[in-house]
């Protein structure tokens, strides 16, 4: 071996040694960096990525203060399919880990999980009831389609009769005919019972449309017909005696509008001077049960001829004013006076009999039911024909006598 060969091999060895030392230094630096970062994570120096443990997650908060830069989030379970968590905050990552571990070992953790289980059970056991569906029923199925007075009647029946009942608190899917019949049997007033029956029928129909039920439990539900107080007309003698006294009442205008023009009580109470035209009365509004001016029962405007018996009053009250003739009228206005007049005359008839008498007088002189329907504002002619079945006994006897002479 020559000297040159030895020198060349030594040089190659030194080059290789330098590369090896360089790798050692680089690796040493990586180890030192890793150890440094590990030390920082345990002493609270900031890190960026969340640390995921088996039972909780540690992460740095954006914008956190000095005392709550780190959070420990512990999942407790699900309520209605949605996860619920408990979260702790700490100044350092290590403190957040310690808080999470301490909580997992505490009684509070077990109590919170048990409470969450109860909440989830209640969520799963939630049922639709008449009471829970009622706000939707009122908003979606009543208010957009019915007069204010009708909606208020809906609210009144619900508040006073339906809502306090056990029926309204039952699972709506489990309500059967027998439950409805038991509830209706507990209502002491027959007329009110039938109003509530109609209320329930409408509500269950809406619940079917809303997807809560497949069919209404009210289907084929039979109740005996309500016994209504007969609204018999005044005889000619009763009418004459009533008119003689009623003319002295401050409410004679209301009674005359019902007796001679066929208006409903609420329509008579909502009349204005401007509604009384030269040849007819324009009937387009009525006073509802809450003393508010509303549309007529059938939501239409009708024209009623001014008949001879009412002509004098029409001339007296006709005008251009748009104010009510009876500005302080309400549901009960004129009722007490009417009862006192009838009591003094020995007449046992409700105030609505005045309107009934109008229809009867029309029938007696041969005016068609269709024409009377338009004057009285009935939506169906069948309603008008019901009056025609109560034509006065005087006319009936006269017809029998005429028939006998044939």
Contact 392, 360 (CB under 8 A): yes
Does 65 share its domain with 166? no
Shared-domain flag, residues 172 and 205: yes
Rounded mean pLDDT, 105-134: 79
Closest CA to 289 of 186, 386, 376, 195: 195
pLDDT greater than 70 at residue 392: no
Regarding whether 241 and 370 lie in a shared domain, the answer is yes
Please check whether residues 86 and 196 belong to one and the same domain.
Answer: no
The predicted pLDDT at position 166 comes to 94
Quick one: 374 and 269 in the same domain?
yes
pLDDT of residue 72: 87
| pLDDT beyond 80 at 282 | yes
* Domain with 139 in it: 130-209
Sign of CA dihedral 306, 311, 315, 316: negative
272 and 347 part of one domain: yes
Q: Whole-angstrom Cα distance, residue 269 to residue 229? A: 23
For 199-256, what is each residue's pLDDT tens digit? 999 999 999 998 888 899 998 887 766 555 556 889 999 999 999 999 999 999 999 9
369 falls within a domain: yes
- Is 347 part of a structural domain of the chain? yes
Q: Calculate mean pLDDT across residues 87-102.
A: 88
293 φ/ψ angles, rounded to the nearest 5 degrees? -75, 125
Instruction: Give the position of tokens 């006319």.
Output: 395
Question: Does residue 343 sit within a domain?
Answer: yes
We report the CATH number of the domain holding residue 262 as: 1.10.443.10
- Same domain flag for 333 and 364: yes
Q: What percent of the chain has pLDDT over 90?
A: 44
Would the pLDDT of 41 be above 50?
no
Per-residue DSSP letters for 279-294? SEEEE--EE-TTS-EE
Reference 138, options 162, 117, 118, 115; nearest CA is 162
Do 95 and 169 fall within a single domain?
no
What domain count does the chain have? 3
Residues 306 and 379 in one domain: yes
Q: Count of residues for the chain? A: 406
In terms of domains, do 180 and 136 share one?
A: yes
What is the DSSP annotation of 187-248? Answer: ---HHHHHHHHHHHHHHHHHHHHTTS-SS-TTTT---PPP-PPP-PPPPHHHHHHHHHHHTT
- Name the residue with tokens 């044939």: 406
Domain co-membership, 156 together with 82: no
Q: Which range is least confidently modeled, 34-48, 58-72, 222-236, 380-394? A: 34-48
The most confident of 27-31, 337-341, 390-394, by mean pLDDT: 337-341
């Amino acid at each position: 071996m020559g000297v040159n060969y030895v020198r060349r091999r030594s040089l190659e060895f030194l080059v290789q040694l330098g590369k090896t030392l360089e790798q050692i230094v680089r690796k040493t630096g990586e180890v030192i960096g890793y150890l440094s970062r590990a030390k920082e994570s345990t002493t609270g120096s900031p890190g960026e990525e969340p640390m995921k443990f088996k039972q909780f997650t540690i992460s740095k908060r954006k914008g956190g203060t000095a005392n709550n830069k780190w959070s420990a989030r512990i999942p407790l379970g699900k309520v209605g399919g949605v996860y619920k968590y408990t979260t702790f905050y700490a100044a350092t990552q290590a403190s957040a880990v310690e808080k999470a571990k301490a909580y997992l070992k505490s009684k509070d953790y077990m109590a919170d999980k048990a409470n969450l289980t109860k909440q989830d059970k209640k969520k799963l056991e939630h049922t639709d009831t008449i009471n829970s569906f009622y706000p939707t029923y009122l908003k979606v199925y009543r208010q957009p389609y019915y007069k204010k007075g009708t909606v208020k009647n809906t609210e009144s029946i619900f508040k006073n009769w339906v809502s306090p009942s056990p029926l309204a608190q039952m699972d709506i899917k489990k309500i059967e005919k027998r439950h409805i019949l038991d509830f209706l049997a507990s209502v002491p007033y027959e007329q009110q019972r039938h109003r509530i029956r109609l209320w329930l029928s409408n509500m269950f129909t809406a619940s079917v449309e809303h997807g809560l039920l497949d069919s209404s439990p009210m289907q084929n539900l039979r109740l005996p017909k309500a016994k209504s107080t007969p609204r018999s007309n005044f005889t000619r003698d009763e009418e004459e005696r009533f008119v003689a006294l009623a003319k002295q009442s401050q409410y004679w205008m209301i009674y005359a509008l019902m007796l001679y023009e066929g208006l409903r009580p609420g329509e008579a109470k909502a009349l204005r001077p401007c509604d009384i035209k030269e040849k007819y009365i324009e009937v387009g509004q009525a006073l509802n049960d809450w003393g508010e001016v509303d549309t007529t029962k059938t939501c239409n405007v009708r024209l009623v001829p001014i008949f001879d018996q009412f002509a004098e009053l029409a001339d007296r009250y006709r005008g251009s004013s748009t104010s009510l003739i009876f500005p302080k009228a309400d549901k009960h206005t004129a009722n007490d006076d009417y009862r006192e007049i009838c009591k003094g005359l020995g007449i046992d008839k409700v105030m609505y009999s005045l309107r009934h008498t109008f229809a009867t007088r029309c029938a007696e002189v041969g005016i068609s039911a269709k024409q009377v329907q338009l004057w009285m504002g009935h939506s169906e002619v069948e309603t008008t024909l019901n009056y025609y079945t109560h034509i006065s006994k005087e006319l009936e006897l006269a017809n029998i006598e005429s028939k006998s002479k044939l």
